[in-house]
């Protein structure tokens, strides 16, 4: 036998006298029997105890006079502390989903804002109790099991529990009568939620029944003509239900339909459902398409890390600083890392409608855009300084030519592609310990240049890697027939001038893509905020 609450009245006789003097109706000695016997329960959340141990039976009654005696004696719902519940159920039914007479049922739920606790809560709860004991649901009163009021910090709830969630006719009738008795406006939505759905958090098949009922029952009243239909998508990664409307610009109708729809599904106030114009679907699809950049960025990053692993950099991080020149692997690692981070933020942010990730995506992309813009301006304003820095950069890499095979291949490629040698000319190779002309250099490559500086003979099938040996011992005129005598800085500038339109087009295209991505992300953020602001 369940333990009774400590303050449970052992007899209702003293309370009847108090009810006659303080109750809202004039009581007489004649008792008015109710159709059912009812039990009042009290719950106080104590985390140190099991849930069922926190639920206590206060008392039972079966007359109108006893009801008013009890109601006048107990504390008002608005005075209860957060975490407490009152429950009024038919005798023999316990206020829990596990009860045999509850498990197949559900509840009509009224969610109240915090500010309504001291203005509306007590009135609505009393009206709910009167609906129950007065059998206000007529032939469907036997479908009602009881009612519960939850006092919570973030918002209170009142629920009427029914016996059979599948009895749609009875459920809808009870909901209409209950809403009318509470005196709620037509715009106020109360939601029905099956206990099975509550236990599993979400049951899309059950919710689908109420979606169909919303449509065929014209539940959206004067805005029902705005509804085109509904779609359910069954997918491996997650199912979706959507109600389609005719005019996305009709904000009043869209918001009303959304409120009614959310209420009919019985979703909590914390649950956000989103509205998306079909035109905006392309926006999300464009951002979702950036998941290709996640894969590509991850591939770049993997190649860079693999290359470092092959060179032993991962086991000896100091090797990164020991190298005098630029390690080309940095290009793969940095580009791959940036692409992965941006792609992940954009893709997941759009998919999960996460405003933080979308803002991060747009800010990060905007930062990259402004860095590119600033770099372009600096290149034009400080041409001479940039040229000097480029000379210094190339010469530093010339010094480290033999230190890293990737750097060596990069320099050879640049010298072959631009038909150049060194930063300003072949004599820059005097900076390298293997190619300098000092008497202390014992290398066979002394006073030479790499083979990539050589002028290739089209008739030669085999590459002569020793073509640059001792070439700088000759006069400059004699060198011109064997090696390229122009510096790579000058050749690079000439290549830029010859391909200025193509290069400018590429950079402008990249900039436009970045601006487009920022606008799409911000537009999606605005849509998400607009939807959340109306719930």
The residue from 136, 152, 182 where one domain ends is: 182
Model pLDDT, residue 286: 52
pLDDT digits (tens, 9 = 90+) for 411-449: 999 999 999 999 999 999 999 999 999 888 888 999 999
- For residues 10 and 8, give the distance between their C-alpha atoms in angstroms, rounded to a whole number: 6
Model pLDDT, residue 521: 84
* 531, 403: one domain: yes
* 56, 122: one domain: yes
Q: Which residue has the higher pLDDT, 529 or 368?
A: 368
CATH of the domain at 239: 3.30.760.10
* 375, 517: one domain: yes
* 208, 350: one domain: no
pLDDT digits (tens, 9 = 90+) for 312-358: 555 555 544 444 455 667 777 888 888 888 888 887 787 777 888 88
Among 215, 197, 216, residue whose Cα is nearest residue 206? 197
Q: Could you give the percent of the chain with pLDDT greater than 90? A: 31
* 102, 220: one domain: no
Among 62, 71, 76, residue whose Cα is nearest residue 25? 71
The residue from 182, 210, 233 where one domain ends is: 182
- Residue 252 structural domain: 202-273
* 82, 170: one domain: yes
Residue 167 lies in a domain: yes
Residue 437 lies in a domain: no
* 59, 150: one domain: yes
* 176, 250: one domain: no
Torsion of CA 254, 255, 260, 266, to 10 degrees: 120
Residue 280 lies in a domain: no
Q: Strand pairing of 156-162 and 240-245?
A: unpaired
The residue from 213, 238, 273 where one domain ends is: 273
Residue 461 lies in a domain: no
Residue 149 lies in a domain: yes
Highest-pLDDT range among 267-276, 454-463, 526-535? 454-463
Residue 225 in contact with residue 136, Cβ under 8 Å?
Answer: no
pTM of the full structure:
0.43
Write the CA distances from 314 to 169, 307, 325, 326, 466, integer angstroms: 69, 9, 18, 17, 34
Q: Residues 198-222: what's their mean pLDDT?
A: 57
Residue 86 lies in a domain: yes
Q: Is 483 a residue whose pLDDT tops 60?
A: yes
Number of domains the chain is built from: 3
* 355, 381: one domain: yes
* 165, 240: one domain: no
SS3 (DSSP) at 229: strand
Q: Residues 137-156: what's their mean pLDDT?
A: 92
Model pLDDT, residue 94: 93
* 152, 19: one domain: yes
Mean pLDDT computed over every residue of the chain:
80
Q: Residues 214-232: what's their mean pLDDT?
A: 74
Residue 390 lies in a domain: yes
- For residues 406 and 328, give the distance between their C-alpha atoms in angstroms, rounded to a whole number: 6
Q: Which residue has the higher pLDDT, 401 or 206?
A: 401
Residue 321 lies in a domain: yes
* 33, 61: one domain: yes
């Amino acid at each position: 036998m369940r333990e009774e609450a400590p303050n449970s009245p052992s007899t209702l006789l003293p309370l009847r006298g108090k009810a006659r003097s303080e109750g809202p109706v004039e009581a007489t000695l004649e008792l008015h029997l109710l159709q059912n016997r009812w039990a009042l329960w009290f719950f106080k959340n104590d985390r140190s105890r099991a849930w069922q141990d926190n639920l206590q039976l206060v008392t039972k009654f079966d007359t109108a006079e006893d009801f008013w005696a009890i109601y006048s004696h107990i504390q008002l719902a608005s005075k209860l502390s957060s975490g407490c519940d009152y429950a009024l159920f038919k005798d023999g039914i316990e206020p829990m989903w596990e009860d045999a007479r509850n498990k197949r049922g559900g509840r009509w739920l009224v969610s109240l804002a915090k500010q309504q606790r001291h203005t509306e809560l007590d009135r609505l709860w009393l009206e709910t109790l009167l609906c129950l004991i007065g059998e206000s649901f007529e032939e469907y009163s036997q479908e009602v099991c009881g009612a519960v009021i939850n006092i919570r910090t973030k918002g209170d709830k009142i629920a009427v529990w029914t016996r059979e969630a599948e009895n749609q006719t009875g459920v809808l009738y009870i909901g209409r009568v209950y809403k009318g008795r509470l005196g709620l406006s037509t715009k106020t939505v109360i939601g029905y939620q099956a206990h099975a759905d509550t236990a599993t958090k979400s049951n899309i098949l059950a919710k689908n029944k109420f979606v169909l009922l919303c449509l065929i029952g014209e539940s959206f009243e004067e805005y029902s003509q705005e509804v085109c239909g509904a779609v359910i998508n069954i997918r491996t990664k997650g199912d979706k239900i959507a109600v389609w409307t005719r005019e996305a610009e009709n904000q009043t109708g869209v918001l009303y339909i959304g409120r009614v729809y959310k209420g009919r599904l019985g979703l909590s106030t914390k649950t956000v459902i989103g509205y998306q114009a079909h035109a905006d679907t392309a926006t999300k699809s464009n951002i979702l398409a950036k998941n290709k950049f996640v894969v590509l960025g991850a591939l770049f990053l993997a190649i860079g890390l693999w290359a470092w692993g092959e060179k032993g950099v991962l086991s000896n991080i100091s090797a990164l600083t020991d190298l005098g020149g630029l390690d080309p692997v940095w290009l793969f690692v940095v580009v791959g890392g940036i692409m992965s981070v941006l792609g992940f933020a954009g893709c997941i942010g759009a998919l999960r409608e996460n405003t933080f990730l979308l803002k991060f995506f747009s800010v990060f992309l905007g930062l990259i855009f402004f860095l590119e813009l600033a770099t372009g301006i600096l290149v034009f304003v400080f041409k001479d300084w940039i040229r000097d820095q480029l000379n210094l950069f190339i010469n530093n890499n010339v010094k480290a030519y033999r230190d890293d095979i990737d750097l060596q291949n990069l320099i050879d490629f640049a010298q072959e592609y631009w038909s150049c040698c060194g930063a300003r000319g072949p004599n820059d190779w005097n900076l390298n310990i293997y190619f300098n002309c000092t008497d202390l250099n014992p290398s066979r490559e002394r006073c030479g240049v790499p083979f990539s500086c050589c002028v290739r003979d089209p008739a030669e099938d085999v590459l002569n890697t020793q073509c640059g040996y001792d070439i700088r011992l000759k006069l400059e005129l004699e060198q011109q027939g064997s090696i390229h005598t122009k510096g790579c800085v000058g050749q690079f500038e000439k290549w830029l001038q010859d391909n200025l339109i193509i290069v400018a087009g590429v950079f402008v295209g990249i900039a436009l893509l970045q601006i487009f991505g920022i606008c799409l992300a911000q537009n999606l953020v605005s849509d998400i905020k607009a939807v959340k602001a109306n719930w």
